[in-house]
Amino acid sequence: MKTKGRGYYYKEHPFREKRTCEKCKKIYIAKMNNAKYCINCKGEKRTPFKHLSTGQVGAMTELMVCVDLIKRGYEVFRAVSPASSCDIAILKNNQLLRIEVKTGYRYLNGAIGSGYGENQKGRFDILAIVIHKTNEIIYQPNI
């Protein structure tokens, strides 16, 4: 029996079982053994700004962090070049700190994803993750 899925047809396979999505309770065919959510619910973790380019979303995210830092009393300096080693520099009490800004999301289990890689360690002092769905800004470490 053929089953329609994501715009193409594929044969039912003994390892692809029908499951109920834990979030929306709809029946779907699992492609992975550990799948818990259908493709629609799994995709909700991404940015709500699908109509904008990644560069536009990144610029908007950096500006949100700048506004938050100004409200907290920091002097804020934004990088002129997109190839800079960090996105923002802040100054308070004669202490200069480098900030890397990432657009993040919350997984359905509450964990935070940001696309931050360990190879970027040492390029900044603070990581700022912006969750657009809730307009939440998480600083690691806290400031």
Query: Is residue 109 included in any domain, yes or no?
Result: yes
In whole angstroms, what is the distance from residue 132 CA to residue 119 CA?
25
38 and 81: one domain?
no
Q: Would you call 93 helix, strand, or coil by DSSP?
A: coil
71 and 123: one domain?
yes
Query: Is residue 22 included in any domain, yes or no?
Result: yes
8 and 37: one domain?
yes
124 and 73: one domain?
yes
58 and 38: one domain?
no
pTM over 0.75: no
Does residue 106 have a pLDDT over 50?
yes
In whole angstroms, what is the distance from residue 29 CA to residue 40 CA?
12
Query: Is residue 48 included in any domain, yes or no?
Result: no
In whole angstroms, what is the distance from residue 99 CA to residue 124 CA?
5
Q: What is the pLDDT of residue 46?
A: 54
Query: Is residue 98 included in any domain, yes or no?
Result: yes
Region 97-104: what's the mean pLDDT?
A: 93
31 and 84: one domain?
no
Q: What is the pLDDT of residue 119?
A: 60
Residue 132 CB coordination number (10 Å) = 17
> Of how many residues is the chain composed?
143
Q: What is the pLDDT of residue 47?
A: 56
Q: How many domains would you assign to the chain?
A: 2
Region 77-92: what's the mean pLDDT?
A: 92
| CB contact at 8 A, 99 and 86 | yes
35 and 72: one domain?
no
73 and 127: one domain?
yes
17 and 68: one domain?
no
Q: Which residue has the higher pLDDT, 14 or 19?
A: 19
pLDDT for 23-80, tens place per residue? Answer: 788 887 777 667 777 767 765 545 567 788 888 888 999 999 999 999 999 999 999 9
- Cross-strand partners of 98: 89
75 and 23: one domain?
no
**Domain containing residue 87:** 54-140
Handedness of CA 94, 88, 128, 132 (dihedral sign): positive
Q: Which residue has the higher pLDDT, 107 or 80?
A: 80
Residue 101: pLDDT band with limits 50, 70, 90? very high
62 and 10: one domain?
no
